[in-house]
Amino acid sequence: LVRMNGKVNGRVFVGDASTPVQLSNNDLHSYVVANDGRAYVAISSVPAGLGPSLQPLTSLGGVMGWAFALEQPGYQNGFSLIGGVFSRQVEVVWGGGERLSITQEFQGIDEHEHLLVSTSLEGRVPELAPGASVHIQAYQEVYQHSDITSSSNREYTVTLPSGETRPQTFQWRQTISFQSCPHDDGRQDDGRRAPQTQQLSVDQIFVMYDTENQLIRYAMSNKIGSMSSGPPEQNPCFTGRHGCDNNAVCRHGDGLEFTCKCSIGFSGDGRTCYDVDECRAAPPVCGRDSVCTNQQGSFRCDCPDGFLPGDHNTCIREELPVDHCQAGRHDCDVMERATCHFTGGSAYLCSCLPGYLGDGRVCEDVDECQQGRCHADAVCFNTQGSYICQCRPGFQGDGFSHSVKAPPSEGLLSFFRPRPAVGQYVPQCDEGGAYRPTQCHPTAAQCWCVDPRGQEVPGTRTADTHPLCIDQAIAPPTAGPVPRPDVIPVAPGARLLFAQSGKMEQIPLDGDAMRKELTSTLLHIPDRVVISVAFDCVDQMVYWSDITGPAISKASLSGGDIIPVITTGLESPEGVAVDHVSRLLFWTDSMRDTVEVSQLDGSQRHVLFDTDLVNPRPIVVDPTYGRLYWADWNRDGPKIETANMDGSERTVLVKDDLGLPNGLTFDPETQLLCWADAGTRKVECWDAGRRVRRQVVSGVQYPFGLASYGGNLFYTDWRREAVVTVDRSAERETDEFLPQKRSQPYGITVATTQCHEGTLTTPDL
């Protein structure tokens, strides 16, 4: 995508009005899908008295269409000719004598890789009644290369609210001025000079004024080519009717001529291409002590265990580090109060467990009873590393938030269901003082079996039912830090869902490995740019954000119609997330600069945050503890923030060494928050329990979306146009999926056949 941002100012008289409508720093946003020349433009905060009357002026932002139009052989669009720094002067004249001047200054590409423009309007336009719609016929503009001038007669039809239609016309003249290079002789890459006169053909035109949001929108498809009475000649390379292999490049020639050339890493005649096995080449492509692995169109040199990458695809023997944590040769506090984290080489880090404070070498118990965490009608008992809340005589409940007559909850807080918290469970004993074999948490509505030491038996936790616990000597877990149970095997039937160019693809998973040969299309969403994808494991529904609508929608994995969820009050919805426990939908809007929440049907919508946000992008949830995490693309200070789902306890979690944190994912099983950064070109993780940050992989290309499942991370990459698998423990990429239709992949998530039960394990950091 190519984006343009700017401001609109000026004075415009409407119809016979004697007082102008003032425009002051109104936002203008535009983007172009470069591979098909389709441009989208939106101007915000346009008063209702002016908005309908601006509908015929598609080229107000349509200069983006000329700048990045689809190029026919031998012709160049505006950006290819003059770049992104130029001035534009436009005169629009209607048959009734109305005249409007448009002045635009294009200031080049900013640090966000957006084209910047300032726009000024001055004059009078014919009045269109509120509710009137405009249909604009396809048209052509003739561009002459001196300064660049163009002219066009526009025809459009106005449909009044009564249904009456009226044809209208106006004349459009523009001049584009730019500073050319004095040494440029006008020759293209093939040595030929670019034509002095070119024709821009514009069709599939859409205009609309959104009264509720005071937004005017334009969309159009653009092609630049020769002066002709008919549509531009279509080379098979542009129409897709070329017959080249999927692993070949179509190179257009004159007229309808073209050639097919196999991509790098493949051989053949272009119509049929075969993978080249570089591992069989002589001399070997991989150096000493390295292992060559052939891939589709490429190869990879890996180092075996005990070796590290060296220069020129070689491997050098690794000097084994000394893990003082595993050997027990460290000065951290005892394991009941602290943990030792091996950080590489011979280094380690000491950190106190939850419920203790200190530097990790000396940890002291935190008296949570001093913090007033229990209910007003409960008594608090401090324990080592935790605490217990017990209702006073005459009251009943869990000791934290419930009493005999709890006040009714209203508004947004009533959405949130109570969640179990580690260290807040009171063990249940039998008459002889031993642990009961079956333990139940009243707040979490969960039961499980325990062994004689009070430790949970893996795989026995159930919701709302009592498991069969045969051994009567088994006892429940004690209050305090939860010991690590065995890792629960991932459920069968999981799949990756990712968005790509008007459709959503699905890749089945075998364990946590991609079954690429079974990839299929889940949904066709034509003419839409889907940014983020989320999944509801309860109803088996996929949710996504769409910036072309803009809208947030959902559909069932088993098929059926697309269901709109949020269609108003959006400008550029980015990240979406679903909390399957509270049945809530969360999203960010990078133009409104908000973090918002609603129920899953879009009702009871509420803005959680609208301050200290510059460009919020991805968002994820922690259903176990009811937390939100989101990333802000503030170039002056990128950050990752967290808060409770009700908007309380907002905190900046990560702010150092960030660039463009695109992808974000949270694994509730390990409590790991991971992100993919297109600025630093790293994938990193944060352990929420230990408060430890570590790098997983570096040197990635341009990651966008990120998802986690089992021991793997999966990210989409714009430059590789691929879905990439990363082994989180081994800290290396292990697999790659290249879609048959190569285009930029966007959001990615994991769809599972059942919901996560909330059991926590310790991640391998």
CA separation for the pair 202, 381 (Å, rounded): 74
Task: Read off the DSSP letter of residue 435.
Answer: B
172, exposed or middle or buried, with CB in 10 Å at 0-12, 13-18, 19+?
buried
- For residues 393 and 403, is the Cβ–Cβ distance under 8 A? no
User: Alpha-carbon distance 282 to 276, whole Å?
Assistant: 13
Q: Which carries the bigger pLDDT value, residue 261 or residue 71?
A: 261
Q: How far apart (Å, rounded) are the C-alpha atoms in residues 549 and 215?
A: 12
Of the pLDDT bands very low, low, confident and very high (cuts 50, 70, 90), residue 408 is very low
Residue with tokens 């004075």: 11
**What confidence score (pLDDT) does residue 1 get?**
63
Task: State the average pLDDT over residues 174-187.
Answer: 71
Beta strands at 2-14 and 114-125: parallel, antiparallel or unpaired: parallel
pLDDT at 615: 92
Mean pLDDT in residue range 192-211:
84
Please compute the mean of the pLDDT values over residues 471-496 and round it to a whole number.
Answer: 44
Q: Are 148 and 194 in contact (CB under 8 A)?
A: no
pLDDT at residue 477 tops 70? no
Number of C-beta neighbours around residue 116 at 10 A: 17
Q: Is 57 exposed, middle or buried (0-12, 13-18, 19+ CB in 10 A)?
A: buried
What share of the chain in percent tops pLDDT 90? Answer: 40
Please determine, for residue 12, whether its predicted confidence score (pLDDT) is greater than 90.
Answer: yes
Q: Say what the pLDDT of residue 760 is.
A: 41
Question: What was the pLDDT predicted at 757?
Answer: 54
pLDDT band at 187 (very low <50, low <70, confident <90, very high): low
Answering whether pTM is above 0.75, one says no
The answer to whether 716 touches 498, Cβ cutoff 8 Å, is: yes
pLDDT at 475 over 50: no
Q: Could you tell me which of 637, 688, 642 has the C-alpha nearest to residue 658?
A: 637
Distance CA 402, CA 432 (A): 30
Q: Which position has the higher pLDDT, 417 or 220?
A: 220
pLDDT of residue 420: 44
pLDDT digits (tens, 9 = 90+) for 118-137: 999 999 999 999 999 999 98
User: In this predicted structure, what is the pLDDT of residue 675?
Assistant: 97
Least confident of 97-111, 484-498, 540-554: 484-498
Find out whether 260 and 253 touch, Cβ atoms under 8 Å.
no
In whole angstroms, what is the distance from residue 226 CA to residue 140 CA? 11
Q: What is the structure's pLDDT at 404? A: 55
Residue count of the chain:
765
Residue 406's pLDDT is what? 41
Rounded Cα distance between 587 and 569, Å, is: 12
90-94, 131-135, 354-358, 571-575, range with the lowest pLDDT: 354-358
Residues 6+ apart with CB under 8 A from 614: 593, 632, 633, 634, 635, 636
- Conformational region of residue 82, where left means phi above 0, alpha means psi within -120 to 50, and beta covers everything else: alpha
Lowest mean pLDDT among 232-241, 447-456, 479-488: 479-488
- Rounded to whole angstroms, how far apart are CA atoms 439 and 467? 9
DSSP 8-state symbol, 429: B
Tokens of 235: 């080379």
Q: pLDDT-derived band of residue 409, with 50, 70 and 90 as boundaries?
A: very low
Which residues lie closer than 8 Å to 748 by C-beta, 6 or more apart?
A: 496, 497, 498, 499, 533, 663, 705, 706, 707, 714, 715, 716, 723
Q: Are 643 and 653 in contact (CB under 8 A)?
A: no
Give alpha helix (H) positions in 28-171. 59-67, 78-82
Q: Are 82 and 72 in contact (CB under 8 A)?
A: no
Model pLDDT, residue 561: 86
* 571 vs 398: which has the higher pLDDT: 571
Whole-angstrom distance, CA of residue 530 vs CA of residue 746: 7
pLDDT tier for residue 191 given thresholds of 50, 70 and 90: low
3-state secondary structure of 708: strand
Which pLDDT does position 182 carry in this prediction?
A: 60
What distance lies between CA 18 and its chain's CA centroid? 47
Pick the range with the lowest mean pLDDT from 163-177, 227-241, 731-745.
227-241
How confident is the prediction for the chain on average, in pLDDT?
Answer: 83
Is a pLDDT exceeding 90 seen at residue 397? no
Instruction: Specify the pLDDT at position 516.
Output: 93
Reading the block at residue 87, the tokens are: 């001035």
* pLDDT per residue as tens digits for the range 609-644: 999 999 999 999 998 888 999 999 888 899 999 999
Other CB atoms within a 10 A radius of the CB of residue 318 amount to: 11
pLDDT of residue 423: 39
Q: What mean pLDDT is predicted for residues 96-122?
A: 90
Separation CA 201–CA 227 (nearest Å) = 10
The pLDDT of 177-189, averaged and rounded, is 66
| Structure confidence at residue 759 (pLDDT) | 40
Higher pLDDT, 341 or 388: 341
Cβ atoms of residues 519 and 505 within 8 Å = yes
Are 26 and 61 in contact, with CB atoms under 8 Å apart?
no
Domains (range + CATH), the chain:
2-181+191-229 (2.40.155.10), 237-275 (2.10.25), 278-317 (2.10.25), 324-365 (2.10.25), 415-486 (4.10.800.10), 514-751 (2.120.10.30)
Alpha-carbon gap, residue 216 to 47, rounded angstroms: 10
- Say if residue 148's pLDDT is above 80: no
> Which of the residue ranges 247-256, 353-362, 620-629 would you say has the lowest mean pLDDT?
247-256
Q: How confident is the model at residue 717 (pLDDT cuts 50, 70, 90)?
A: very high
362 Cβ neighbours under 8 A, 6+ residues apart: 333
The pLDDT value given to residue 150? 73
* Greatest mean pLDDT among 189-193, 282-286, 753-757: 282-286
Q: What Cα–Cα distance (Å) separates residue 175 from each residue in 103, 104, 139, 153? A: 10, 11, 18, 15
- Residue matched to tokens 């070689």: 314
Alpha carbon distance 467, 438 (integer Å): 7
Does residue 160 surpass a pLDDT of 90? no
| Element of type H or E holding 613 | none
The H or E element spanning position 325 is helix 324-327
- pLDDT tens across 424-449, in order? 455 676 666 666 788 776 555 567 78
Indicate the range of 35-44, 153-162, 187-196 predicted with least confidence.
187-196
At 321 the pLDDT is 74
Q: In degrees to the nearest 10, what's the CA dihedral of 93, 94, 98, 103?
A: -30
**What pLDDT, on the 0 to 100 scale, is given for residue 288?**
82
Q: How large is the average pLDDT for residues 704-711?
A: 94
In 3D, which of 179, 203, 183, 192 has the Cα closest to residue 76?
Answer: 192
Task: Indicate whether 492 pLDDT > 70.
Answer: no
In which band, very low, low, confident or very high, does the pLDDT at 78 lie, cut at 50, 70 and 90? confident
Local structure of residue 414 (DSSP, 8 states) = G
